[in-house]
């Protein structure tokens, strides 16, 4: 492809940013699940992966304390042990990670109907139609972070920007537990400050090629004339040049999938205070009111009601009940939740840290269809 051909892509479209994309990636995913399960592992260099006895295999991931020693995913365990002889190793509980990943994706799916899962601990949400501006997107991200922490006791980093690639880059700059927002007018400044390796796909090999041409930061690349960039680094180099200069290089994304909302849930956490039964009921009741009104707003019927209880020691239990047919009634949810709560047989309410109510098995209301309660002429 000639440069002339390439330059035809400097179109108006590339200057337009009309989306707000949120990207979430969990921090040290496998390692933080292990720490959650065994708090003695917190605050120390920790490796997940390989065989701790034989010291064979590769590092799946490691804690941020281990990263200080230069250890990273994919490194042979033998090398990691050389870098940090006192490192702690655990083999990994992969079934648990996959369950946690599923739960996290479920939480995320409540924040936008347009979502793309990009890995076991990361996903993009197109929130363009969910928020009205970047400030609202930031608030949504804080809510999402709290939600993820409340449901799985894990931290994540979030990037918000007008394109997927920028949102992903933004999520990385303040890891762990970061939140970085890049608005359209801030793209060039934001990019110029970054090392060239901050761009996904630029690894050690490409870095050497760039460095040989005195390009270490994205700003260095941005300053070069595009003709020279094309000549020296080819088509991919030119694409990177456009990215660092604030062009929108993303194709209209057909990969985002719209999904129907699978559940509606609300949780209430009792932070550092003792909960009493009346107090707990006030919170359960307000959670029920919120989810039922959300369901009505979205014209959804539900069949399954789930009650989640988390105790002070983070042990979490869920119980669910499915109705005979789809319903919309708040009263029905209250009755089911009451009997689910009785099933737990909790003696001491002060041990409760969190209560959550979820309705799922959702179905769009057919205006001609009546619920069973309406059929029998009952109402809320
Ligand atoms: P990442 O999100 O790449 O890494 P991470 O979550 O451990 O750390 P960070 O805070 O930098 O995001 O990967 C998610 C999980 O996928 C990770 O915890 C373990 C697994 N994984 C591997 O098993 N092998 C690999 O080479 C990588 C990169 C990840
Ligand atoms: Mg991660
Ligand atoms: Mg990841």
34: Cβ below 6 Å to ligand 1? no
190: Cβ below 6 Å to ligand 1? no
Identify the pLDDT of residue 273: 67
Band (pLDDT 50/70/90 cuts) for residue 378 is very low
Active-site entry in 34, 65, 122, 267: 122
Do residues 371 and 326 make contact, with C-beta atoms less than 8 angstroms apart? yes
Identify the pLDDT of residue 379: 41
Kindly tell me if the per-residue pLDDT of 371 is higher than 90. Answer: no
Residues sharing a CB contact under 8 Å with residue 140, sequence separation 6 or more, in sequence order: 22, 111, 127, 130, 131
Average pLDDT of span 59-77: 96
Strand pairing report for 179-181 and 156-161: parallel
Highest mean pLDDT among 21-25, 318-322, 324-328: 21-25
Separation between Cα atoms, residue 380 and residue 373, nearest integer Å: 9
DSSP string, 38-95: -GGGTTS-EEESSBTTTTBSB-SEE-HHHHTTT--TT-BHHHHHHH-TT-EEE---HH
Separation between Cα atoms, residue 318 and residue 343, nearest integer Å: 11
For the chain, which domains are there? 18-26+97-185 (3.30.70.270), 30-94 (3.40.1170.60), 189-244 (1.10.150.20), 263-375 (3.30.1490.100)
Identify the pLDDT of residue 4: 57
**Least trusted range by pLDDT, from 59-63, 105-109, 259-263:** 259-263
Q: Is 152 a catalytic residue?
A: no
Give percent of the chain above pLDDT 70: 89
Six token digits for residue 209: 């090629």
- Look at 54 and 174; give whichever has higher pLDDT: 174
Nearest ligand 1 atom to alpha carbon 122: 2
Kindly tell me if the per-residue pLDDT of 198 is higher than 70. Answer: yes
362 to 117, 242, 304: CA distances (angstroms): 21, 44, 8
Band (pLDDT 50/70/90 cuts) for residue 364 is confident
Identify the pLDDT of residue 2: 59
Band (pLDDT 50/70/90 cuts) for residue 243 is very high
241: Cβ below 6 Å to ligand 1? no
Identify the pLDDT of residue 326: 86
Give percent of the chain above pLDDT 90: 59
Kindly tell me if the per-residue pLDDT of 86 is higher than 60. Answer: yes
Kindly tell me if the per-residue pLDDT of 256 is higher than 90. Answer: no
Kindly tell me if the per-residue pLDDT of 85 is higher than 90. Answer: yes
From the CA atom positions of the chain, what is the Rg in Å?
Answer: 25
Kindly tell me if the per-residue pLDDT of 369 is higher than 80. Answer: no
Cα of 264 vs centre of ligand 1, distance in Å, is 29
Nearest-CA residue for ligand 1 atom 8 is 28
- Look at 117 and 376; give whichever has higher pLDDT: 117
32 to 46, 103, 149, 193, 215: CA distances (angstroms): 10, 15, 12, 30, 35
Residues sharing a CB contact under 8 Å with residue 362, sequence separation 6 or more, in sequence order: 260, 261, 262, 263, 264, 295, 300, 301, 302
Separation between Cα atoms, residue 266 and residue 290, nearest integer Å: 7
Residues sharing a CB contact under 8 Å with residue 219, sequence separation 6 or more, in sequence order: 191, 192, 193, 244
30: Cβ below 6 Å to ligand 1? yes
121: Cβ below 6 Å to ligand 1? yes
Give pTM, 2 decimals. Answer: 0.72
Q: What is the pLDDT of residues 277-320, one digit of tens each?
A: 998 999 999 999 999 999 998 888 999 999 999 888 777 788 88
Separation between Cα atoms, residue 229 and residue 231, nearest integer Å: 5
Strand pairing report for 300-311 and 316-327: antiparallel
Q: What is the pLDDT of residues 114-136, one digit of tens each?
A: 999 999 999 999 999 889 999 99
Identify the pLDDT of residue 354: 87
Identify the pLDDT of residue 178: 98
**Least trusted range by pLDDT, from 5-9, 161-165, 300-304:** 5-9
Identify the pLDDT of residue 253: 61
Please name which ligand lies nearest the alpha carbon of 61.
1
Torsion of CA 77, 81, 82, 84, to 10 degrees: 130
């Amino acid at each position: 492809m000639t440069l002339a051909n390439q330059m035809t892509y400097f179109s108006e479209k590339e200057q337009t940013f009309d989306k707000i994309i949120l990207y979430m990636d969990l921090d040290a995913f496998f390692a933080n699940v292990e720490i959650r399960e065994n708090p003695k592992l917190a605050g120390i260099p920790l490796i997940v992966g390989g065989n701790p006895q034989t010291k064979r295999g590769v590092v799946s991931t490691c804690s941020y304390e281990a990263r200080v020693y230069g250890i990273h995913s994919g490194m042979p365990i033998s090398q990691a042990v050389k870098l940090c002889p006192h490192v702690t190793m655990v083999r990994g509980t992969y079934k648990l990670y996959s369950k946690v990943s599923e739960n996290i994706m479920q939480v995320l799916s409540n924040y936008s109907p347009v979502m793309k899962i990009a890995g076991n601990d990361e996903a993009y949400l197109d929130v363009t139609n969910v928020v009205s501006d970047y400030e609202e997107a930031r608030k949504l991200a804080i809510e999402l972070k709290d939600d993820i922490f409340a449901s799985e006791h894990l931290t994540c980093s979030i990037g918000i920007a007008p394109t997927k690639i920028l949102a992903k880059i933004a999520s990385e700059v303040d890891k762990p537990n970061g939140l970085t927002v890049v608005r359209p007018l801030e793209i060039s400044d934001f990019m110029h400050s970054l090392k060239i390796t901050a761009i996904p796909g630029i690894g050690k090999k490409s870095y050497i090629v760039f460095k040989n041409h005195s390009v270490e930061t994205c700003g260095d690349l941005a300053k070069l004339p595009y003709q020279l960039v094309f000549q020296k680094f080819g088509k991919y180099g030119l694409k990177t040049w456009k990215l660092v200069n604030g062009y929108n290089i993303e194709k209209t994304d057909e990969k985002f999938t719209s999904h129907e909302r699978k559940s509606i849930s609300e949780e209430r956490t009792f932070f550092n205070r003792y909960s009493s039964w009346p107090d707990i009921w006030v919170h359960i009741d307000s959670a029920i009111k919120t989810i039922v009104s959300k369901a009505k707003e979205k014209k959804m019927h539900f069949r399954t009601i789930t009650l989640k209880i988390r105790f002070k020691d983070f042990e979490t239990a869920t119980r669910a009940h499915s109705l005979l047919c789809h319903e919309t009634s708040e009263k029905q949810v209250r009755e089911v939740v009451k009997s689910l709560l009785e099933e737990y047989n909790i003696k001491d309410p002060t041990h409760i840290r969190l209560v959550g109510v979820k309705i799922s098995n959702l179905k769009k209301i057919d205006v001609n269809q009546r619920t069973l309660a309406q059929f029998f002429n009952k109402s809320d």
